[in-house]
Chains A and B, each alone.
Chain A
Amino acid sequence: MAALTSAEHTGAIGLNDLEEFRTDEPTGRITLAGLTKRYGGHAGDAAAVDHVDLEIRAGEFVTLLGPSGCGKTSTLRMIAGFEEPTEGVVQLDGAVMNTVPPNKRPMSMVFQSYALFPHLSVRDNVAYGLRLKRIPQARLAEEVDTILAIMNLAPYADRAPHQLSGGQQQRVALARALVMRPKVLLFDEPLSNLDAKLRVQMRNEIRRLQRRLGITSIFVTHDQDEAMTLSDRVVVMSRGRIEQIASPEEVYRRPESVFVADFIGRANFLDASALAAPVDGAISVHALGQRRTVPCHPDVTADSDVLLMIRPESVRLEKVDHAAAESGAADVRDDLGRVLSVMFHGDTVEYDVETDAGTIVASVSDPTAAEIFEPMDVVRVIVPDDRGWVLPHAARED
């Protein structure tokens, strides 16, 4: 009882009773093949989802990430069955789902607005789906009580949804989906209505819950933090197409395209020229006044224009003596820059630095007061070669 009270206090989900809800057989493999959605139904209409191919392993947590209008929600809704694909197939464990109505698919969806039934109590909300299955009364009550206890909602079972806080409503929505023991959990931006701190807390709870239960989960979001922290793999989408499918780290460090690099985190792109053909996934380029050997995208070739991507937090700045800089004509160094602006963020200080290769954003973490530069200071821009990433120039789209 004491444990329950403390969990209740923190609002955390009690994970001890979870084993009961664990799915043992590895089911819930989702395959999307050539999945396409055109609204309006004419061949000429722009596709909201354009020939998406995706294989999601049983038990995997996959995030669909992209800006609004990129087709991520349409993709999720086609998996759920709320939208009919114009072309292509949705498969669950190898069986085509296209003709199965959404209420017959063994999937549960958690909605952005929670979509709790306002006229039903918390208990009745959670019991709703089980009642439709005509499960015996006693077992139904037991299942509902168990999930309410797991989600720490037992004290609120008889309340109406509007009497709960946002986080509690979110947990009811999750409980209502979980109690159905779905093969696949679908999340449609479920955290975007919560405040920042609660969002982080719920995010961690969802991840722990999903790890323990092993339910295949597909999570739609436009928040890269959510995508990075939750997922086994991130699917970055843009204009209805998949830009990249990879682990969070790979998406961040080795983006497939300028779009991905730009959308996930922030990035500086420096014009660079290739000096030789790539060897072992790295290429020799000339950038910021130096010859460097930097990891590169497989499409990069010796005679293509290339871009050197560098994250702001990888850029280091070093103070340069004014007099030396003025008289440094003998030693022409293109890696010098001038501080244009300084922004103090608390944990970091961010600089816009003007260089010959364009304006570079540098983010320096936790500097002392003495280390902070002033505008118009001349600085040396240091880019560690192994933190860069070379992309083909053509990949830049505008």
Chain B
Amino acid sequence: MTTTVERAALPVSAPAPAPTARRRRSDASVVILVVIVSIVLLLIVGYPLITLLGTAGSTEGLAVLGQVFTKPANLRIVGNTVLLGLCVGTIGTLVGFVFAYAQVRLRFRGKRLLNLLAMIPIVAPPFAVATAVITLFGRNGAITTGIFGWQADIYGLPGLVIVLTLSFYPVAYMNIKGMLESLDPSLDEAAAGLGAGKLRVFFTVTLPMLIPGLAGSFLLLFVEGIADLANPLVIGGDYTVLSSRAYLAVTGEYNTAAGAAYSFVILLPAVLVFLVQRYWVSRKSVVTVTGKPTGSSELITAPSIRIPILTLVGIVSALVVVVYATVLIGGFVKVPGVNNAFTLDHFRFVLAGLGSKAMVDTTTLALIAAPIAGILGMVIAWLVVRKLKRTAGLMDFVGMLGLAVPGTVLGIGYALAYMTPTTLFGIPLLPPLAGGAAAFAGSIAIVLVYIARSLPSGQRAGVSALQQIHPAIEEASTSLGANGATTFGKVTLPLIQAALVTGVTFAFARSMTTLSPIIFLTTPGTKIMTSQILAEVDSGRFGNAFAYCTVLIAIVLVVILLINILIRKVVFRGRTHQR
């Protein structure tokens, strides 16, 4: 290094440090942000997962882990779980594909309705579907028994597959729809121009290009299938899966080590699938996103394609409509499916009676968590895309863990980690956040878990929004004298406001509807709607459960609307930009 350069006498406004100081100081504001984000990530996912892994790796945990793959009863549970995952993955992807194909390639009326149907599960609590399916098709089902007089048994694998497919097909639908839309129709035209018929084009051009999307959807649904807790509890019957086994171990047998061990068995494939989906499927993707709108291809009108596809779409859509209609109507009748006399008792209970505390608590905590998760998602996205180099991948990964790690696993991790005061080298840092002695009746842990679960969607939206903004815009801000944090606040955040709105919106919806991690964290002092719904279903009060579901959906929709207006009109004062 050249250190012999003379230091001239001309004074300059900026201090001239010794020439031997090789490394430039990083922007202090960025360093502070990195430290804050790291601490938050450690609190919301790092520490609970480490504790969980530690417990699973303890002597008792390892003993249970060993038994998971040796005891026949446990092997059956593992087999059940995998079978459920495969069924949900296959059927859900198929339904999602058919819906997406109809939406993008077919000519028919009601496309917006179809899109809307796919959005409902995002705002609905997970077991609205399960409860409605029981009401309609269960042992005393309004349809099976009421209309056909059958004594159907919906509990177990068939019910689970139906319910999980109806709940999660939208994930596949959105995924595949996005891919289909970005396929350049000129490729199809090129194939047709070379003499290929429509069917041949589909099998030799369209389908191969969709394989990464289909594989990705299958994997996502597989994980949703093996990790779900709410539905196996409600409609699983004797069909035990790992998540319900872990739940039983923690809440019924008070055997946290066993709970951790079962969780670990779910965690492993879930994280593996996440990694494959993220780093392999996305790289294999041949769909090119150029950012310029591709011309829309001719919509298909041929009856040989339309009729079978639209029939399938119609059946599934009808099922979805009936299910959610049941949720809505079920709240207004005495005993849904059995005594269908009109009543407002259930809503009175939820809105004004004993049940109203859950409504207030849940909404309050979700309202606290959503903006934090949204902003945190944007900050992480910014650090990952712009500021960090070697550690970017790690921070991105840890931020996404809240999505990759199944809720059940995360909940058990929280219960294990925060049951006791958190200490560092013997210095107490935090009071217990979970369990009977939890500070603020466990609400801190619930907010943290809400943030962990809902952070990834905002983070992902932020990353893709930032990748479309030329770095020179931020450098221009720096060149004009702004430090990192100022640049982020004054330039970056306004430019990615759409991603922020998405992040906050999803965060709120996800927080309101999440159940699996919450079950392990609620205390008598803090009531959460989703776990109240579960309790009502457990004790057979379906009417109350449906009323809760309807109220929850209504709150989510209203708040989403308000968040959109608030962020766009107040925070950014209507400043938008066009590209």
A residues touching B (Cβ–Cβ < 8 Å)?
27, 29, 31, 33-34, 80-82, 84, 87-89, 91-109, 111-113, 115-120, 128-129, 132-133, 160, 162, 173, 176-177, 180, 186
* List of 6 A-B pairs having minimum Cβ-Cβ separation, nearest first: A94-B8, A129-B480, A95-B16, A34-B2, A118-B577, A115-B476
A101 close to B577 (CB less than 8 A) = no
In whole angstroms, how far apart are the Cα atoms of A100 and B17 in the complex?
A: 8
What are 6 pairs between A and B in contact, CB < 8 Å?
A96-B17, A97-B14, A98-B22, A101-B24, A118-B473, A162-B579
B576 close to A119 (CB less than 8 A) = yes
B577 close to A94 (CB less than 8 A) = no
B1 close to A111 (CB less than 8 A) = no
B475 close to A111 (CB less than 8 A) = yes
A162 closest partner in B (C-beta): B578
In whole angstroms, how far apart are the Cα atoms of A89 and B13 in the complex?
A: 18
Among listed B78-86, B143-151, B295-303, B481-489, interface-contacting one: B481-489
> What is the 8 Å Cβ interface bit string for chain B, positions 478-507, against chain A (1 contact, 0 not)?
111111001000110011000000000000
Question: Nearest chain B CB to A161's CB is how many angstroms away?
Answer: 8
B476 close to A94 (CB less than 8 A) = no
Q: Which residues of B contact A120 (CB under 8 A)?
A: 575
Partner of A118, one of B14, B482, B495: B495
Which parts of B1-45 form the interface with A (CB within 8 Å)?
Answer: 1-2, 5-14, 16-17, 19, 21-25, 27
In whole angstroms, how far apart are the Cα atoms of A133 and B483 in the complex?
A: 12
B479 close to A132 (CB less than 8 A) = no
B5 close to A33 (CB less than 8 A) = yes
A173 closest partner in B (C-beta): B476
Partner of A95, one of B7, B21, B576, B578: B7
A111 close to B472 (CB less than 8 A) = yes
Whether A99 contacts B1 in the complex (CB less than 8 A), given A92-B12, A109-B476, A118-B579, comes out as no
Q: Which residues of B contact A87 (CB under 8 A)?
A: 1-2
A128 close to B478 (CB less than 8 A) = no
Partner of B479, one of A33, A34, A108: A108
Question: Nearest chain A CB to B356's CB is how many angstroms away?
Answer: 42
Question: Nearest chain A CB to B4's CB is how many angstroms away?
Answer: 8
Q: Which residues of A contact B21 (CB under 8 A)?
A: 98-99
Question: Nearest chain A CB to B517's CB is how many angstroms away?
Answer: 37
Q: Which residues of B contact A96 (CB under 8 A)?
A: 5, 7, 16-17, 19
Question: Nearest chain B CB to A40's CB is how many angstroms away?
Answer: 11
**Is there a chain A Cβ closer than 8 Å to B422's Cβ?**
no
A117 close to B491 (CB less than 8 A) = yes
In whole angstroms, how far apart are the Cα atoms of A108 and B481 in the complex?
A: 9
- Other contacts beyond A88-B1, A101-B25: 19, CB < 8 A: A84-B23, A87-B2, A89-B2, A89-B5, A94-B12, A95-B11, A98-B21, A99-B25, A100-B24, A101-B483, A103-B479, A105-B14, A106-B12, A111-B472, A115-B473, A115-B476, A117-B477, A119-B495, A119-B577
A115 close to B472 (CB less than 8 A) = yes
Which of A31, A92, A94, A113 is packed against the most chain B CB atoms within 10 Å? A94
Question: Nearest chain A CB to B485's CB is how many angstroms away?
Answer: 11
Q: Which residues of B contact A95 (CB under 8 A)?
A: 7-8, 10-12, 14, 16
Q: Which residues of A contact B495 (CB under 8 A)?
A: 118-119
A186 closest partner in B (C-beta): B479
B residues touching A (Cβ–Cβ < 8 Å)?
1-2, 5-14, 16-17, 19, 21-25, 27, 470, 472-473, 475-483, 486, 490-491, 494-495, 572, 575-579
Which of B14, B479, B491 is packed against the most chain A CB atoms within 10 Å? B479
A133 close to B10 (CB less than 8 A) = no
Q: Which residues of A contact B486 (CB under 8 A)?
A: 132
Question: Nearest chain B CB to A215's CB is how many angstroms away?
Answer: 14
Q: Which residues of B contact A98 (CB under 8 A)?
A: 19, 21-22, 24
Question: Nearest chain B CB to A146's CB is how many angstroms away?
Answer: 17
A99 close to B479 (CB less than 8 A) = no
Q: Which residues of B contact A115 (CB under 8 A)?
A: 470, 472-473, 475-476
B479 close to A102 (CB less than 8 A) = yes
A33 close to B475 (CB less than 8 A) = no
A102 close to B478 (CB less than 8 A) = yes
B14 close to A117 (CB less than 8 A) = no
A103 close to B481 (CB less than 8 A) = yes
Whether A128 contacts B1 in the complex (CB less than 8 A), given A99-B17, A115-B473, A115-B475, comes out as no
In whole angstroms, how far apart are the Cα atoms of A112 and B472 in the complex?
A: 9
A188 closest partner in B (C-beta): B472
Q: Which residues of B contact A177 (CB under 8 A)?
A: 479-480
Question: Nearest chain A CB to B311's CB is how many angstroms away?
Answer: 47
In whole angstroms, how far apart are the Cα atoms of A111 and B476 in the complex?
A: 8
Whether A128 contacts B9 in the complex (CB less than 8 A), given A99-B21, A119-B577, A162-B578, comes out as no
Question: Nearest chain A CB to B488's CB is how many angstroms away?
Answer: 13
Q: Which residues of B contact A176 (CB under 8 A)?
A: 476, 480
A180 close to B25 (CB less than 8 A) = no
In whole angstroms, how far apart are the Cα atoms of A397 and B575 in the complex?
A: 55
B2 closest partner in A (C-beta): A34
B8 close to A93 (CB less than 8 A) = yes
Question: Nearest chain B CB to A98's CB is how many angstroms away?
Answer: 6
In whole angstroms, how far apart are the Cα atoms of A130 and B470 in the complex?
A: 23
A119 close to B575 (CB less than 8 A) = yes
Q: Which residues of B contact A93 (CB under 8 A)?
A: 8, 10, 12
A118 closest partner in B (C-beta): B577
Q: Which residues of A contact B475 (CB under 8 A)?
A: 80, 82, 102, 109, 111, 115
In whole angstroms, how far apart are the Cα atoms of A105 and B10 in the complex?
A: 15
Question: Nearest chain B CB to A130's CB is how many angstroms away?
Answer: 9
Question: Nearest chain A CB to B283's CB is how many angstroms away?
Answer: 22
Partner of B27, one of A101, A129, A180: A101
In whole angstroms, how far apart are the Cα atoms of A102 and B481 in the complex?
A: 8
A120 closest partner in B (C-beta): B575
Question: Nearest chain B CB to A101's CB is how many angstroms away?
Answer: 6
Q: Which residues of B contact A104 (CB under 8 A)?
A: 14, 481
Whether A34 contacts B17 in the complex (CB less than 8 A), given A101-B25, A119-B575, comes out as no
A53 closest partner in B (C-beta): B2
In whole angstroms, how far apart are the Cα atoms of A370 and B236 in the complex?
A: 97
B478 close to A113 (CB less than 8 A) = no
A128 closest partner in B (C-beta): B480
In whole angstroms, how far apart are the Cα atoms of A81 and B14 in the complex?
A: 14
In whole angstroms, how far apart are the Cα atoms of A212 and B389 in the complex?
A: 42
In whole angstroms, how far apart are the Cα atoms of A109 and B491 in the complex?
A: 17
A89 close to B479 (CB less than 8 A) = no
Partner of B2, one of A88, A103, A119: A88
Whether A27 contacts B10 in the complex (CB less than 8 A), given A84-B23, A89-B2, A160-B577, comes out as yes
Question: Nearest chain A CB to B322's CB is how many angstroms away?
Answer: 46
Question: Nearest chain B CB to A35's CB is how many angstroms away?
Answer: 9
A26 closest partner in B (C-beta): B10
Question: Nearest chain B CB to A96's CB is how many angstroms away?
Answer: 5
Q: Which residues of B contact A118 (CB under 8 A)?
A: 473, 495, 577-579
In whole angstroms, how far apart are the Cα atoms of A99 and B577 in the complex?
A: 36
Whether A113 contacts B14 in the complex (CB less than 8 A), given A88-B2, A89-B2, comes out as no
A91 close to B24 (CB less than 8 A) = no
Which of B1, B17, B495 is packed against the most chain A CB atoms within 10 Å? B1
A33 close to B2 (CB less than 8 A) = yes
Q: Which residues of B contact A31 (CB under 8 A)?
A: 5
Question: Nearest chain B CB to A242's CB is how many angstroms away?
Answer: 15
Which of A92, A119, A176 is packed against the most chain B CB atoms within 10 Å? A119
B480 close to A180 (CB less than 8 A) = yes
Question: Nearest chain B CB to A129's CB is how many angstroms away?
Answer: 3
In whole angstroms, how far apart are the Cα atoms of A33 and B8 in the complex?
A: 14
Which of A33, A95, A107 is packed against the most chain B CB atoms within 10 Å? A95
A163 closest partner in B (C-beta): B578
In whole angstroms, how far apart are the Cα atoms of A115 and B10 in the complex?
A: 33
Question: Nearest chain B CB to A30's CB is how many angstroms away?
Answer: 12
A99 closest partner in B (C-beta): B17
In whole angstroms, how far apart are the Cα atoms of A26 and B11 in the complex?
A: 13
A87 closest partner in B (C-beta): B1
